[in-house]
């Protein structure tokens, strides 16, 4: 809580110090104050969710044919390899006769069937996508991408995954069918919680020539939301800082993501050159999504380093390096979200894709960044290749630009949708011989802010 207060204050002060309009500042501050940040609530993407849509397209003698689609409506959280697993609990004794564009992981006990054997008879089926290269006759639109779903901002065209399912023993009219219950989504690993399926207006589909519209007979939607806390119970990344004007490199806070402890948890991390590494990687782990990290003081799988590199007359330059410390993960289609007030004057960006994420109307101080396809969209596992880099060139806005008080450092960083641990503001590299090295106590900032606010309000 203290951290988010500090963040909020930093943001509010940054805004006040700029020449923004009075009403904008007040509204922004009110938004900050009345939206306390909880783990599940993400202020940069408040409506982010994954929606599962279940469209019944036709009835069969003992059931129906449906198209099930998974829409990723999250701005910057994607589902990476090895992809999603969707599960549910049937309401009655339904079976899956056939599936196109996906498959269940287990068939289950189909011994009560003679002749035709269903694809799956389990009460709680678990479905995975098919791999790329699936024969054409086993495909449907938006299937067969190995369960990978892009984020909404990164690639809206690939933010959906679909499969077709033929359900039996369900009854074949809208009076007898019941929606599946207790949807589960692993993406991969835990993190999502799904709500119940609700009857919604039937989906409509446009024909290829756009001249005819058809519709589903019956549609259910279920919504799944992400919580970082459920996902790994510990932060997944951290931020380190440096600047050309100070030789100190401010490292990630110690124990950002965990502590090195050989006594209670031997093997919680590995040294890069130790013979143990090969055997730890070779041993099939019960949960392969648990990171196997290189031993560091922060123990994070991923570190983002922000270096203030150069100062020009009109511009300034930042170098960002993302380093992978996880031996068990190649991060495919990774993304980074960074918040800094100068992003609204970003002039040039090298070797990353960029899109502005406008969070509060016109204040576009938040950038989404991701790798260039086939060049650096893959962040390799820990080791010599396990990093990607970029440089940003910002145009100075004379009214707000300063190297003082850590202004040149980011306010917030997310990696793959997880909020990264920042060093405390009083540890930031300072300008040499700065007269204001002492941090202004928080209470002073608050009272100064409210004095300013009162003044502004009375001036309106
Ligand atoms: C899910 O996201 C979509 C798209 O942003 C939004 O329209 C919808 O209201 C969201 N659903 C929930 C339950 O938040
Ligand atoms: C159901 O989901 C679809 C696609 O995910 C979305 O377009 C539609 O608005 C949703 N309906 C409701 C009522 O949420
Ligand atoms: C079921 O379908 C019939 C027509 O086939 C329709 O009249 C009825 O309203 C539907 N029931 C529901 C609950 O939608
Ligand atoms: C479904 O989840 C609810 C709680 O959300 C639980 O009470 C119920 O037992 C679950 N049903 C099945 C069949 O797993
Ligand atoms: C953990 O092990 C490493 C080498 O394996 C050693 O350098 C380090 O001091 C140990 N730490 C503790 C707390 O025992
Ligand atoms: C990462 O990719 C490289 C090259 O494609 C591969 O050799 C390596 O096994 C992969 N690592 C993991 C953890 O999947
Ligand atoms: C910020 O948003 C404004 C409009 O809201 C747009 O004109 C401007 O190009 C954006 N700046 C950047 C760097 O994307
Ligand atoms: C920076 O961007 C803001 C909003 O886009 C604009 O009002 C301002 O003039 C820009 N400053 C410079 C120095 O270009
Ligand atoms: C660099 O910044 C650190 C704070 O991180 C400070 O202790 C140190 O005095 C600074 N160095 C100089 C030369 O100002
Ligand atoms: C700044 O500090 C350095 C030592 O930290 C000192 O040598 C130098 O004279 C100082 N410069 C000014 C202008 O005070």
pLDDT along the chain (460 residues), means of 10: 44 42 40 39 84 96 95 93 93 95 94 93 95 90 93 92 95 91 90 94 91 94 88 84 92 90 68 75 66 89 95 93 92 92 91 84 83 93 92 91 90 92 90 54 52 52
Q: Closest Cα to atom 4, ligand 9: which residue?
A: 429
Q: What is the pLDDT of residue 216?
A: 94
Q: What is the pLDDT of residue 380?
A: 93
Distance 425 CA to ligand 9 centre (A): 13
Preceding peptide of 120 cis, ω within 30°: no
237-257+291-427 fold: Immunoglobulin-like (2.60.40)
Tally Cβ neighbours within 10 Å of residue 19.
Answer: 8
**Which of 246, 247, 428 for a ligand 9 pocket mutation test, highest count of atoms within 8 Å of Cβ?**
246
Answer yes or no: is the C-beta of 162 below 6 A from any ligand 2 atom: no
Q: What is the pLDDT of residue 27?
A: 39
Nearest atom (ligand 1) to Cα of 51: 1
Q: Provide the whole-model pTM.
A: 0.78
Domain ranges, ordered by start, for the chain: 49-226, 237-257+291-427
Q: Are 337 and 328 in contact (CB under 8 A)?
A: no
Distance 169 CA to ligand 4 centre (A): 21
Q: Closest Cα to atom 12, ligand 2: which residue?
A: 200
49-226 fold: Immunoglobulin-like (2.60.40)
Tally Cβ neighbours within 10 Å of residue 448.
Answer: 13
Q: What is the pLDDT of residue 285?
A: 60
SS (HEC) of the chain: CHHHHHHHHHHHHHHHHCCCCHHHHHHHHHHHHHCCCCCCCCCCCCCCCEEEEEEEEEEECCEEEEEEEEEECCCCCCECCCCCEEEEECCCCCEEEEEECEEECCCCCCCCCCCCCCCECCCCCEEEECCCCCCHHHCCCCCCCCCCECCCCCCHHHCEEEEEEEEECCCCCCCCCCCCEEEEEECCCCCEEECCCEEECCCEEECCCCCCEEECCEEEEEEEEECHHHHHCCCCEEEEEEECCEEEEECCCCCCCCCCCCCCCCCCEECCCCCHHHHHHHCCCCCCCCCCEECCCCCCCEEEEEEEEEECCCEEEEEEEEEECECCCCEECCEEEEECHHHHHEEEEECEEEEECCCECCECCEEEEEECCCCCCEECCCCCCCEEEEEEEEECCCCCCCCHHHCCCCCEEEECCEECECCCHHHCCCCCCCCCCCCCCHHHHHHHHHHHHHHHHHHC
Distance 173 CA to ligand 3 centre (A): 9
Q: Are 79 and 118 in contact (CB under 8 A)?
A: no
Distance 380 CA to ligand 6 centre (A): 7
Q: What is the pLDDT of residue 33?
A: 35
Q: Closest Cα to atom 13, ligand 2: which residue?
A: 200
Q: What is the pLDDT of residue 62?
A: 92
């Amino acid at each position: 809580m203290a951290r988010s207060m500090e963040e909020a204050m930093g943001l509010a002060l940054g805004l006040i110090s700029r020449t923004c309009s009075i009403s904008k500042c007040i509204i922004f501050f009110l938004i900050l104050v009345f939206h306390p940040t909880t783990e599940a609530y993400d202020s940069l993407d408040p409506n982010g969710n994954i929606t599962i849509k279940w469209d019944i397209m036709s009835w069969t003698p003992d059931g129906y044919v449906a198209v099930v689609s998974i829409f990723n409506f999250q701005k910057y959280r994607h589902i990476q390899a090895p992809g999603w697993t969707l599960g549910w609990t049937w309401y009655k004794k339904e079976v899956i006769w056939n599936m196109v564009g996906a498959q269940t992981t287990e068939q289950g006990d189909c011994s009560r069937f003679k002749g035709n054997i269903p694809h799956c008879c389990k009460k709680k089926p678990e479905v995975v996508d098919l791999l790329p290269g699936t024969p054409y006759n086993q495909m449907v639109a938006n299937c067969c991408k190995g369960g990978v779903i892009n984020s909404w901002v990164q690639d809206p065209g690939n933010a959906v995954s679909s499969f077709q399912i033929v359900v039996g023993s369900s009854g074949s009219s809208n009076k007898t069918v019941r929606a599946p219950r207790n949807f589960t989504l692993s993406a991969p690993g835990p993190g999502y919680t799904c709500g119940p399926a609700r009857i919604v207006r039937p989906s409509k589909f446009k024909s290829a020539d756009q001249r005819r519209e058809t519709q589903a007979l019956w549609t259910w939607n279920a919504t799944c939301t992400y919580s970082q806390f459920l996902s790994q119970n510990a932060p997944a990344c951290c931020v380190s800082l440096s600047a050309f004007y100070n030789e100190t490199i401010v490292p990630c806070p110690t124990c950002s993501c965990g502590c090195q402890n050989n006594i209670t948890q031997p093997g919680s991390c590995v040294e890069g050159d130790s013979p143990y590494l090969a055997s730890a990687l070779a041993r099939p782990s019960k949960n392969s999504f648990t990171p196997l990290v290189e031993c560091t003081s922060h123990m994070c799988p991923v570190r983002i380093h922000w270096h203030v590199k150069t100062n020009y007359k009109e511009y300034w330059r930042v170098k960002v390096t993302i380093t992978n410390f996880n031996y068990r993960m190649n991060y495919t289609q990774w993304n980074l979200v960074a918040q800094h007030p100068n992003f609204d004057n970003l002039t040039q960006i090298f070797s990353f894709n960029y899109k502005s994420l406008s969070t509060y109307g016109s204040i576009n101080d938040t950038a989404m960044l991701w790798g260039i396809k086939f060049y650096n969209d893959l962040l390799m596992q820990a080791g010599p290749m396990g990093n990607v880099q970029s440089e940003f060139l910002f145009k100075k806005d004379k009214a707000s630009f300063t190297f003082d008080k850590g202004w040149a450092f980011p306010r917030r960083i997310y990696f793959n949708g997880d909020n990264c641990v920042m060093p405390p503001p009083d540890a930031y590299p300072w300008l040499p011989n700065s007269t204001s090295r002492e941090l202004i106590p928080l209470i002073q900032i608050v009272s100064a802010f409210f004095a300013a606010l009162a003044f502004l309000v009375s001036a309106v």
